Amino acid sequence: MAGFLLALAILPGCASHTVSDVQGYQQWFAEKENPCRTSKRVGDMLISMKYLPPEFLALKDHEAAGGKLSYDSLYNNYKHSVTFLMSFVSIQGQEGEDVMYKDLSNYKEYLERNMTLNFDMESRVQLKSDFGSCYPVLSSMENTYGLSKGRDVYLVFSSQEEAYDLYKQPYWDLIYQDDIYQTGILHFTFQYPDIKAKLPEVKL
Protein backbone atom coordinates (compact mmCIF):
# COMPACT_ATOMS: atom_id res chain seq x y z
CA MET A 1 0.00 0.00 0.00
CA ALA A 2 2.81 2.41 0.91
CA GLY A 3 4.52 1.71 -2.41
CA PHE A 4 1.32 2.45 -4.33
CA LEU A 5 0.89 5.80 -2.57
CA LEU A 6 4.50 6.74 -3.31
CA ALA A 7 4.06 5.93 -7.00
CA LEU A 8 0.83 7.95 -7.11
CA ALA A 9 2.56 10.96 -5.55
CA ILE A 10 5.16 11.15 -8.31
CA LEU A 11 2.86 10.70 -11.28
CA PRO A 12 3.12 13.60 -13.79
CA GLY A 13 0.44 16.19 -13.21
CA CYS A 14 0.04 15.38 -9.50
CA ALA A 15 0.75 18.27 -7.15
CA SER A 16 3.73 17.53 -4.90
CA HIS A 17 2.00 19.17 -1.94
CA THR A 18 -0.76 21.57 -1.00
CA VAL A 19 -0.79 25.18 0.21
CA SER A 20 -3.51 27.16 1.93
CA ASP A 21 -2.06 30.67 2.02
CA VAL A 22 0.37 33.03 0.27
CA GLN A 23 3.11 32.31 2.80
CA GLY A 24 2.97 28.62 1.92
CA TYR A 25 3.17 29.43 -1.78
CA GLN A 26 6.13 31.75 -1.21
CA GLN A 27 7.91 28.97 0.67
CA TRP A 28 7.38 26.71 -2.34
CA PHE A 29 8.79 29.42 -4.65
CA ALA A 30 11.88 29.60 -2.44
CA GLU A 31 12.67 25.89 -2.77
CA LYS A 32 15.94 25.06 -4.47
CA GLU A 33 15.61 24.27 -8.19
CA ASN A 34 12.09 25.70 -8.30
CA PRO A 35 11.02 25.57 -11.99
CA CYS A 36 9.29 28.96 -11.80
CA ARG A 37 12.52 30.92 -11.29
CA THR A 38 15.54 31.63 -13.47
CA SER A 39 18.14 34.38 -13.56
CA LYS A 40 21.10 35.76 -15.50
CA ARG A 41 24.12 37.62 -14.15
CA VAL A 42 26.00 39.98 -16.45
CA GLY A 43 28.75 41.98 -14.78
CA ASP A 44 27.31 43.39 -11.56
CA MET A 45 23.69 43.14 -12.75
CA LEU A 46 21.46 40.23 -11.75
CA ILE A 47 18.26 40.02 -13.81
CA SER A 48 15.70 37.43 -12.79
CA MET A 49 12.43 36.15 -14.22
CA LYS A 50 9.77 34.47 -12.08
CA TYR A 51 6.59 32.88 -13.38
CA LEU A 52 3.56 33.71 -11.22
CA PRO A 53 0.91 30.99 -11.63
CA PRO A 54 -2.74 32.10 -11.78
CA GLU A 55 -3.36 30.03 -8.64
CA PHE A 56 -0.83 32.15 -6.73
CA LEU A 57 -2.18 35.46 -8.05
CA ALA A 58 -5.74 34.46 -7.18
CA LEU A 59 -4.70 33.37 -3.69
CA LYS A 60 -2.82 36.63 -3.16
CA ASP A 61 -5.85 38.74 -4.11
CA HIS A 62 -8.14 36.50 -2.07
CA GLU A 63 -6.02 37.09 1.04
CA ALA A 64 -5.63 40.82 0.35
CA ALA A 65 -9.43 41.13 0.28
CA GLY A 66 -9.74 39.34 3.59
CA GLY A 67 -11.44 36.39 1.91
CA LYS A 68 -14.31 38.56 0.64
CA LEU A 69 -13.42 37.88 -3.02
CA SER A 70 -14.00 34.36 -4.30
CA TYR A 71 -10.78 32.47 -5.01
CA ASP A 72 -12.44 30.58 -7.88
CA SER A 73 -13.64 33.79 -9.54
CA LEU A 74 -10.21 35.37 -9.22
CA TYR A 75 -8.58 32.27 -10.64
CA ASN A 76 -10.94 32.30 -13.63
CA ASN A 77 -9.83 35.87 -14.35
CA TYR A 78 -6.12 35.07 -14.15
CA LYS A 79 -6.11 31.75 -16.04
CA HIS A 80 -6.37 33.51 -19.40
CA SER A 81 -3.03 35.25 -18.98
CA VAL A 82 0.59 34.33 -18.20
CA THR A 83 2.32 36.61 -15.69
CA PHE A 84 6.00 37.04 -14.89
CA LEU A 85 7.86 39.13 -12.34
CA MET A 86 11.10 40.51 -13.78
CA SER A 87 13.61 41.71 -11.20
CA PHE A 88 16.65 43.97 -11.58
CA VAL A 89 19.31 43.96 -8.85
CA SER A 90 22.80 45.47 -8.74
CA ILE A 91 25.26 43.34 -6.78
CA GLN A 92 28.09 45.86 -6.79
CA GLY A 93 29.76 46.12 -3.39
CA GLN A 94 28.33 44.73 -0.15
CA GLU A 95 24.98 46.49 -0.27
CA GLY A 96 24.56 46.94 -3.99
CA GLU A 97 23.55 50.05 -5.90
CA ASP A 98 20.08 51.45 -6.54
CA VAL A 99 19.30 50.27 -10.05
CA MET A 100 17.30 53.41 -10.80
CA TYR A 101 20.48 55.50 -10.62
CA LYS A 102 23.06 53.00 -11.81
CA ASP A 103 25.48 54.49 -14.39
CA LEU A 104 23.38 57.65 -14.82
CA SER A 105 24.86 61.14 -14.95
CA ASN A 106 21.84 63.45 -14.72
CA TYR A 107 18.19 63.76 -13.75
CA LYS A 108 16.97 63.59 -17.34
CA GLU A 109 18.46 60.12 -17.73
CA TYR A 110 16.77 59.07 -14.49
CA LEU A 111 13.38 60.23 -15.79
CA GLU A 112 13.91 58.31 -19.04
CA ARG A 113 14.79 55.13 -17.13
CA ASN A 114 11.80 55.54 -14.86
CA MET A 115 9.47 55.96 -17.83
CA THR A 116 10.98 52.94 -19.59
CA LEU A 117 10.65 50.59 -16.63
CA ASN A 118 7.16 51.84 -15.84
CA PHE A 119 5.57 52.08 -19.27
CA ASP A 120 7.74 50.73 -22.07
CA MET A 121 8.88 47.21 -21.23
CA GLU A 122 6.35 45.67 -23.64
CA SER A 123 8.62 46.43 -26.59
CA ARG A 124 11.72 44.97 -24.94
CA VAL A 125 10.50 41.50 -23.94
CA GLN A 126 8.98 38.87 -26.18
CA LEU A 127 7.86 35.32 -25.50
CA LYS A 128 8.67 32.62 -28.05
CA SER A 129 7.46 29.03 -28.29
CA ASP A 130 6.28 26.56 -30.92
CA PHE A 131 3.40 28.84 -32.00
CA GLY A 132 5.72 31.78 -32.79
CA SER A 133 6.13 34.84 -30.58
CA CYS A 134 4.11 37.48 -28.75
CA TYR A 135 4.69 40.56 -26.61
CA PRO A 136 3.26 41.55 -23.22
CA VAL A 137 -0.15 43.20 -23.25
CA LEU A 138 0.68 44.91 -19.96
CA SER A 139 3.74 45.84 -17.92
CA SER A 140 4.15 47.85 -14.73
CA MET A 141 6.93 48.53 -12.25
CA GLU A 142 6.20 47.87 -8.61
CA ASN A 143 6.65 50.90 -6.33
CA THR A 144 9.22 50.13 -3.63
CA TYR A 145 8.80 53.48 -1.81
CA GLY A 146 12.57 53.66 -1.40
CA LEU A 147 12.71 50.42 0.62
CA SER A 148 14.65 48.44 -1.98
CA LYS A 149 17.58 49.15 -4.28
CA GLY A 150 16.26 46.66 -6.80
CA ARG A 151 13.14 46.98 -8.96
CA ASP A 152 10.43 44.53 -10.00
CA VAL A 153 8.42 44.74 -13.23
CA TYR A 154 5.26 42.73 -13.87
CA LEU A 155 4.84 41.37 -17.41
CA VAL A 156 1.46 40.01 -18.52
CA PHE A 157 0.96 37.98 -21.71
CA SER A 158 -2.47 37.13 -23.07
CA SER A 159 -3.35 33.46 -23.46
CA GLN A 160 -6.98 33.80 -24.54
CA GLU A 161 -6.70 33.06 -28.25
CA GLU A 162 -6.73 29.39 -29.24
CA ALA A 163 -4.11 30.08 -31.93
CA TYR A 164 -1.45 30.67 -29.27
CA ASP A 165 -2.69 29.23 -26.00
CA LEU A 166 0.49 29.64 -23.97
CA TYR A 167 -0.52 26.92 -21.53
CA LYS A 168 -0.45 24.38 -24.37
CA GLN A 169 3.14 25.19 -25.32
CA PRO A 170 6.03 22.90 -24.34
CA TYR A 171 8.29 25.78 -23.35
CA TRP A 172 8.42 29.56 -22.92
CA ASP A 173 11.52 31.41 -24.06
CA LEU A 174 11.41 35.00 -22.84
CA ILE A 175 13.86 37.16 -24.74
CA TYR A 176 14.89 40.47 -23.21
CA GLN A 177 16.78 43.03 -25.30
CA ASP A 178 18.44 45.16 -22.66
CA ASP A 179 19.17 48.71 -23.71
CA ILE A 180 18.64 49.93 -20.12
CA TYR A 181 21.62 48.29 -18.37
CA GLN A 182 23.38 47.20 -21.58
CA THR A 183 23.56 43.51 -20.64
CA GLY A 184 22.75 42.39 -24.18
CA ILE A 185 20.10 39.89 -25.31
CA LEU A 186 19.08 37.57 -22.48
CA HIS A 187 17.02 34.37 -22.68
CA PHE A 188 14.91 33.10 -19.77
CA THR A 189 13.53 29.64 -20.57
CA PHE A 190 10.77 27.79 -18.73
CA GLN A 191 9.51 24.25 -19.36
CA TYR A 192 5.80 24.59 -18.67
CA PRO A 193 4.99 20.83 -18.46
CA ASP A 194 7.61 20.56 -15.71
CA ILE A 195 6.13 23.56 -13.90
CA LYS A 196 2.58 22.19 -14.19
CA ALA A 197 3.62 18.84 -12.74
CA LYS A 198 5.16 20.50 -9.68
CA LEU A 199 2.65 23.26 -8.90
CA PRO A 200 1.23 22.96 -5.40
CA GLU A 201 -2.50 22.45 -5.04
CA VAL A 202 -4.41 25.30 -3.36
CA LYS A 203 -6.77 24.11 -0.62
CA LEU A 204 -8.61 26.78 1.36
Write down the domain spans for the chain: 18-202
Give the model confidence (pLDDT) of 148-174 as tens digits: 899 999 999 998 665 578 999 999 999
Asked if residue 30 has pLDDT above 50, the reply is: yes
How far from 126 is each of 36, 133, 155, 185, CA to CA, in Å? 17, 7, 10, 11
Task: State the DSSP code for 7.
Answer: H
Predicted confidence at residue 119, as pLDDT, reads 92
Which of 9-18, 143-152, 188-197 is most confident?
188-197
d(CA 103, CA 181): 8
Band of the pLDDT at 11, cuts 50, 70, 90?
Answer: very low
Predicted confidence at residue 101, as pLDDT, reads 93
**Topology given in CATH for the domain delimited by 18-202:** Immunoglobulin-like (2.60.40)
Mean pLDDT of 172-186: 97
- In 77-167 the beta strands, taken as DSSP E runs, fall at 81-90, 125-129, 132-134, 138-141, 151-158
